[in-house]
Amino acid sequence: MQEKNSTENWTEVISPGRHLLDLRLAEVWRYRDLVLLFVKRDFVSQYRQTVLGYAWYIIQPVLTTFMFLIVFNKIANISTGQIPAVLFYMCSITIWNYFASCLTATSSVFTANAGIFGKVYFPRLVLPLSIVLSNIIKFAIQLVLLTVLIIYYSATSSFHLQWGWHYMLIPVIVLNMACMGLGAGIIISSLTTKYRDFAVLITFGVQLLMYVTPVAYPLSYAMQSDYKNFILFNPLSPMVESFRYAVFGVGIFDTNLFLYSIAFSVVALLAGIILFNKVERSFMDTV
């Protein structure tokens, strides 16, 4: 028998014809039914074996609002301006929770779903998209709670909403926060396949990020500090402040800062999708 040469010279190499900017978004659309299945799974399974179940979607923002009221309003004596403190904090927490949930959940997509990825093929971008969409449901529940509180305060106090065009900003802000959370999350998820330190960093990094974002204080209060440029550089700052402006009609709405935040989200999302598609080809070798 003739021995096989230890070194072989290949004349043809078969490789997928896919370049860096080939995002295959049309393929993701063909798997939209799978996206909806993952959305249902994420929403139903999160509190399935808990005693209070879906009530946690309301309990969590209520408890956080209560703590903010004690610490920032009563102890630190930070004014919330024309907006009642409870409504101010609930509004901020509602939009912040949506971003934080999108970021933290998508940042562990590869490591948390390695078992599924290793068994069956589907566009990997389906999973982070389903996370963003499932969190929309949680956001809607908390937004309903905020609406109930607004109605209560309007009926029992001198506070009244300022009606106007600013309500049209709400879907734009939510979409922008979704893009920012998705983009940043899948960038971190792509890096986590090799550098597990990012998984540890994200757990407390989001908490630290909240303090340099005007969640517990108005942007006007931050403008009086020596660190105002640092807070304004944070692309989340104009979004949180603009969301309060969109809901209540009072506060600061800066068009330049608003557009800056949108531009940041678009760049982060495109960079995240490109990096995500690059890493997904070989991540099973490193996870």
Unique residue bearing structure tokens 């590869």: 110
Instruction: Answer yes or no: pTM beyond 0.75.
Output: yes
Over residues 207-214, mean pLDDT: 90
Predicted pLDDT at 97: 93
Predicted pLDDT at 48: 66
Predicted pLDDT at 161: 79
DSSP secondary structure string, 26-91? HHHHHTHHHHHHHHHHHHHHTTTTSSSGGGHHHHHHHHHHHHHIIIIIIIS----TTS-HHHHHHH
Q: Which has more pLDDT, 178 or 207?
A: 178
Predicted pLDDT at 116: 77
Handedness of CA 122, 124, 130, 131 (dihedral sign): positive
pLDDT higher than threshold 50 for residue 2: no
pLDDT above 90 covers what percent of the chain? Answer: 34
Which DSSP helix (H) or strand (E) runs through 25? helix 25-30
Alpha helices in 157-254 (DSSP H): 169-192, 197-211, 219-222, 228-233, 236-248
Indicate the pLDDT class of residue 9, thresholds 50, 70 and 90.
low
**Torsion-angle region of 57 (φ positive above 0: left; ψ -120 to 50: alpha; else: beta):** alpha
Task: Classify residue 177 by burial, with Cβ atoms within 10 Å: 0-12, 13-18, 19+.
Answer: buried
Predicted pLDDT at 55: 79
